Amino acid sequence: MRIESGRRIATVLGGLAVVVGVAVAQAPTASAWDSNTHLNKCGIFFNQNCGHGGVGDNNRRVFAYDQRADDNGFRTEYRMTNGDSGAIKDPDGDGGGSGQIWTPAPVKSYRVCSEQGNDYRFWPCSEWINVL
């Protein structure tokens, strides 16, 4: 009786292992993902879209798109897994074009900012977004 019971348990566990294995094999990879963030802090009431930026291509490409013709630039600031950081900007301030850069290491977090005025301490920015 014990041997038969042991075989049933082994059969059930074997079947469970197959089901779990298939589920894991078909699950999407848990690696880097693309992310895009808009900043809605422009206009006279500071509630209009300034632009958007983010990361793509396995967290190696950083981009910034200015979407307002207000003579202010738009930037994406980023931090990489190797400890370095940087920023890419769309400097034209006319709502056209974009800025992008390929990074030497994967980006782990970023934020987007509108370059309103001369003092960067007062630029509206999003919160830091973790992507790794």
Tens-digit pLDDT profile for residues 49-61: 999 999 999 999 9
Element spanning 18, H or E: helix 2-26
Q: Tokens 């307002």 belong to which residue?
A: 68
Residue-wise pLDDT tens digits, 36-95: 999 998 888 888 899 999 999 999 999 999 988 888 889 999 999 999 999 999 876 665
Over the chain, what is the mean pLDDT?
A: 80
